[in-house]
Amino acid sequence: MKNSEFVDRDLKTVWHPCSQMKDHEFLPMIPIKSGKGVYLQDFEGNRYLDAISSWWVNLFGHSNEYINSKVSEQLETLEHVILAGFTHEGAVRLSERILKIAPQGLSKVFFADNGSSGVEVALKMSFHYHKNRGETRPYFISLKNSYHGETLGALAVGDVELYKDTYSEMLMKTIQVPVPEDQKEESIWEPIQELEVLLEKRSHEISGIILEPLVQCAGSMHMYHWRYLIEVKRVTEKFGIHLIADEVATGFGRTGKMFALNHAEISPDFMILSKGLTGGYLPLSLVLTTDRVYREFYCDYTLQKSFLHSHSYTGNALACSAANATLDIFENENILNSLSEKMKFMKRELEKFQKLPNVKEVRQTGMIGAIELQGYKWEDRIGLEVYKYGLENGVLLRPLGHIVYFMPPLSITIPEMEKMISVAFGGISKLIQ
């Protein structure tokens, strides 16, 4: 089959996410037939190095033999079972293992099935906790430029105009505080001060603060210093509000440690995990919380005090098997140690971009690298040019506006990184001519 036959059928029926469908009058849709390692392959044999881990989910390559075998095994025994009143081995094992590696103090796991629903769970649970204690605290704080997903609650705590503005009238009210403007340690103090001033006045009506630790991924890969997290932790304790860590994108080794919070060695009241959790195989999310929160819901049955949130596919057994297999790989292959050479390589390579006249800044946190371009207008759609250049040269880059970034599977090799980065360099250099 040719790519084009498949694309015709696709465009007649499928409405794609995060897309202006009319773009596909000139922008080729790429139908993928198979994937292996960091490569995706279309119906005509063209290969694309997946530099964005298929939207930040893939950790150990496509069609990973080990994960395949574990999901197949699970398929032979149990595909799914209701998680209310029932349980299964995969969910229990995953909970035990996640709590073992999670920041101290987290001791209970609530299941959901994607990042946004995990965020919704954490927000509702935090609000409900305070309510169970006799306090109504309808507000949440989040950081400027943050992204927490696109269901209405998650969108309401986010702050990326592109996704939020259209729906602003229908969203719950939230409060945004400044995020440190760069990765320098001294940049954290003003934002911390502003947070404290806000809480002095309003902490009684605020349930918690939600943030993406270290990297605001969808927010143009904006990065800040880990010290900020330590200070936020201090402030949340001082004022008695929850700290909700959205590690949906930053979790599972992306920042060079298992979780971004590990850089600051702090524990949140809630931690949300998804994306890399299943190695990029199946939708699943977890919301981890403390005994303190759990106990506030634990009592003789009354409707008001129980947490009745649920999704049909909560704790899906196949997804749990993929997640357990992913944790196996982290353990068996000593993945976190294997990253340091790759992170050093990326750092060296990123410096080369700094010399280009259309590059404003390069930044990196662990295995995430970003190149911010300058001198273009939004309407120039400069990212699209880099995207097209990447595809022509066998690399899937998907710039966020004028930010070209790398978030490859952790299993990428140095030669593969070299290709990924040199194609990005070519695409950005070509814009100058």
Ligand X SMILES: *Cc1c(COP(=O)(O)O)cnc(C)c1O
Q: Which of residues 226-245 bind ligand X (CB under 6 A)?
A: none
Token readout for 315 is: 């704790």
Name the minimum Å distance from CB 245 to ligand X.
Answer: 10
**What distances in angstroms separate CA 253 from CA 101, 143, 144, 269, 277, one per listed residue?**
12, 23, 25, 21, 10
Nearer to ligand X, 147 or 389 (CB): 147
Helix pair angle (189-202, 227-239), 10° resolution: 10
Total of chain residues touching ligand X, rule CB under 6 A = 14
Residue 217 interacts with ligand X (CB under 6 A)? yes
Closer of 119 and 261 to ligand X (Cβ): 119
In angstroms, how far is the first alpha carbon of the chain from the final one? 37
Q: Binder to ligand X among 114, 145, 174, 183 (CB under 6 A)?
A: 114
Stretch that binds ligand X, among 112-120, 130-138, 171-179, 415-423 (CB under 6 A): 112-120
Enumerate the H helices of 78-160 as residue ranges.
89-101, 115-132, 152-157
Could you say which DSSP state residue 28 is in? P
| Residue nearest ligand X, Cβ-based | 115
User: Of 344, 369, 352, 428, which Cα lies nearest the Cα of 393?
Assistant: 428
When the beta carbons of 383 and 427 are compared against ligand X, the nearer one is 383
Q: Which is nearer to ligand X, 109 or 359 (CB)?
A: 109
Using CB under 6 A as the binding rule, the residues of this chain from 131 to 170 that contact ligand X are 147-149
Give helix 65-77 / helix 317-332 axis angle, nearest 10°. 140
Q: How far is the CB of 359 from ligand X (least distance, A)?
A: 24
Q: At closest approach, how far in Å is the CB of 213 from ligand X?
A: 9
R_g of the chain, CA atoms, integer Å: 22
Amino acid at 53: S
Of residues 51, 106, 156, 249, which one binds ligand X by CB under 6 A? 249
b/e map of 140-177 (b: 16 or more CB within 10 Å)?
Answer: bbbbebbbbbbeebbbbbbbbeebbeeeeeeeeebeeb
**From the list 274, 316, 364, 411, which residue makes contact with ligand X (rule: CB under 6 A)?**
274
**Short-list 269, 254, 265, 266, CA closest to 223:** 254
Question: If binding is defined by CB under 6 A, does position 212 make contact with ligand X?
Answer: yes
**Least distance (Å) between residue 150 CB and ligand X:** 7
Q: Which residue number, 52 or 217, has a Cβ lying nearer to ligand X?
A: 217
Interface residues with ligand X (CB under 6 A) are: 114-116, 119, 147-149, 212, 217-218, 246, 248-249, 274
